[in-house]
Chain A
Amino acid sequence: MALLRIRNLSVDFATASGKFRAVDSMDVTVDRGDILAIVGESGSGKSVSMLAMMGLLPWTATITADEMSFDGIDLRSVTAAQRRKIIGRDMAMIFQEPMSSLNPCFTVGFQIRESLRKHMNMSRRERHQRAIELFEQVGIPEPEKRLGVFPHQMSGGMNQRVMIAMAIACRPRLLIADEPTTALDVTIQAQILELLTGLQRDTGMALILITHDMGVVAETAQRVSVQYAGQKVEEQPVRPLFSTPHHPYTAALLAALPERATSKILPSIPGVVPGQFDRPKGCLFSPRCSKADDRCREIEPENQPEELGRAKCHYPLGVNEPEMAQ
């Protein structure tokens, strides 16, 4: 049985000018020990879907789903108290800005012990021991000393390590990392990604990595789900996704990478991601797609079968070509 199963999740926001659909009938399945990357541009609903699952959205949001279960527990029907028990213990999340995710008024040691106190049945001494252990685990030097330090006294990379330590404090079975390295420098990013994948390997937890960076995806993920304008347009294991993308959007996104460029002018996707006011009929990518025809502009495509990456497209790519054998 899957650890996390979401079927047909939609999130609507009430805004100044009517309803805005941020997530549109999205499916997510994560098994134990999985690393799933959710890739998409800003406004593709990748963070919103996870926040919706954790019940962290403001009251302006309306969430609907056919199924939303974590480890057999239906997340749609749990009470707020039960949900709080799950979140932070079995399911944890780290965010993009480590500086603003930690409370500047308390030492990091206090904050990490606090989350242990909430969720684990531990004595004071055990909590202190566990905090030191966790700091060692995430590679913070001199853990004993660092426990008494305030977030602003440490660098972004160190704070992100503290965040990770807090997230894994109660040995979660699912860790959601929302752009965990975007605010960090390249060499620090490499350290943090290595730490996350290492922890995932050692503890066997599932990891959902939300990112926009194709390089990060290629180096860490096992499976990739590509989001566009609130919809999942494709899902494949990482290697075939990069070698034979089935959705034109994925293909165009990969072609636009500067490192894949063959000439000085990059192949680019014209136009912009549709917003609240210019959502097209039919396929959402059709106004920007080079292969779109009238059918694409009129009828919303169904998902293709598993072999074609469940691509949400009428004319998926890479159908006739033989699968690139590894």
Chain B
Amino acid sequence: METTMERPGRLREFWYYFRENRGAVIGLSVFVVFVLVAIFADLLAPHDPTQQYRDHLLRPPAWSEGGDWSFPLGTDPLGRDLLSRLIHGARYSAFVGVVVVTVAASVGILIGLLSGFAPRWGDTIIMRIMDIILAFPSLLLALVLVAILGPSLTNAMIAIAIVQQPHYVRLTRASVINERTRDYVTSARVAGAGIWRLMFKTVLPNCLAPIIVQGALSFSTAILDAAALGFLGMGAQPPTPEWGTMLAEAREFILRAWWVVTFPGIAILITVLAINLMGDGLRDALDPKLKRS
């Protein structure tokens, strides 16, 4: 036999398709900046986010009239530096995203796998429960859950994870059922593979592509939901510099001081938009059905 020349590796091919989508590349760069800011918040922030400068209440951004370069984006009603709070807020948002996606994905994938391999009645029971969860408006359900568990950032994350997990279940189940009929799975069964091996070693790695895409997209939903819960007073509690909570605290100053609501709003917008763009790029690159020839 002669050699087969190396075909381009998976990663290179992935990057080729990802790069083709310019929005995705921009999204990815913004996301990388977001993650770096979250990690190095302590080094980047000019002030302590909870430090109240009583002499500088509601100071406008540096470039507008009455601004001060020691508070580049101005201060909030309690005299805290807005930029520092936003930078630390990124940390909370990233934290919410990571935790929610991890919890929702791992639970969802597990249930989805079980459902895909379960006999028909088991599958039906699981899927009907998921349908019921999906039938509620997600934010409403999260609100109810938080109301039961008590308002805090942790409970908000749990609630959001519960609300998001049915999406993973459905996605996983769909690709499991699709993969299960493939010959390599039968081949593993003929080799004597047991059900657990089939689930986790044989089938799961081949179902990951759409789940990764869903993970990226639900990362942004999680941030958005956490901000919404914070805004409604059901998420992170003051004085935590969480973006949604910041919005809620500054609500009554909208007319007097535009910057206190604009900057947290823009932060949420940019982050969510960037992650969504990146998710679209991931889908283009990972989903073979949409792959161009």
Determine direct contact between A and B, CB below 8 Å.
Answer: yes
Interface size on B, residues (CB 8 A): 14
Q: Is A287 an interface residue (CB 8 A)?
A: yes
For residue B6, CB closer than 8 A to chain A, the reply is: yes
Q: Is the interface of B mostly helix, strand, loop or mixed?
A: loop
The one of A17, A58, A270, A278 that contacts B292, using a Cβ cutoff of 8 Å: A58
Q: Is B256's beta carbon under 8 Å from chain A?
A: no
A58 to B4, CA, bound (A): 28
Q: Are A16 and B2 in contact (CB under 8 A)?
A: no
Minimum Cβ distance to chain B for residue A47 (Å): 12
| Bound CA–CA A13/B293 (angstroms) | 9
Residues of A within 8 A of B12 (CB): 16-17
Tell yes or no: B17 within 8 A of A by CB: yes
The reply to whether the CB of B205 lies closer than 8 angstroms to some CB of chain A is: no
Is B8's CB within 8 Å of the partner chain A?
yes
CB of B5 within 8 Å of the partner chain: yes
Neighbour of A277 across the interface among B1, B6, B13, B292, CB < 8 A: B6
A60 at the A/B interface (Cβ < 8 Å)? Answer: yes
Q: Give the distance in Å from the alpha carbon of A278 to the alpha carbon of B12 in the complex.
A: 19
Does B200 reach chain A (CB closer than 8 Å)? no
The yes or no answer to B16 lying at the interface (CB within 8 A) is yes
The 4 closest A-B pairs by CB, nearest first: A277-B5, A16-B16, A278-B5, A17-B8
Q: Mark A38-58, 1 if CB is under 8 A from B, else 0.
A: 000000000000000000001
Is residue A72 within 8 Å, beta carbon to beta carbon, of the partner chain? no
B3: chain A residues at CB < 8 Å are: 278
Chain A residues with CB under 8 A of B16: 16-17
- In the complex, what's the smallest C-beta–C-beta distance from A309 to chain B, in angstroms? 28
In the complex where A16-B13, A16-B16 touch, is A287 in contact with B2 (Cβ < 8 A)? yes
Say whether A277 contacts B7, CB under 8 Å: yes
How far in angstroms is the closest Cβ of chain A from B188? 27
Q: Does A258 contact B (CB under 8 A)?
A: no
Complexed CA–CA distance, A160 and B292 (Å): 27
A271 interfacial by beta-carbon distance below 8 Å: yes
Q: Is the CB of A275 within 8 A of B5?
A: yes
CB pair A60–B2 under 8 Å, yes or no, is no
Fill in one digit per residue for A255-291: 1 if any B CB lies within 8 Å of its CB, else 0.
0000000000000001110010110000000010000
CB distance from B286 to the nearest CB of A (A): 14
Contact check, A271 vs B6: say whether CB atoms are below 8 A apart. no
Q: Which of A55-70 contact B (CB under 8 A)?
A: 58, 60
Q: How far is the CB of A276 from chain B (nearest CB, A)?
A: 8
**Residues in B1-42 with C-beta less than 8 Å from chain A:** 1-8, 12-13, 16-17
Question: In the bound complex, what is the Cα–Cα distance between A16 and B15 (angstroms)?
Answer: 9
User: In the complex, what distance in Å separates the CA atom of A184 from the CA atom of B292?
Assistant: 28
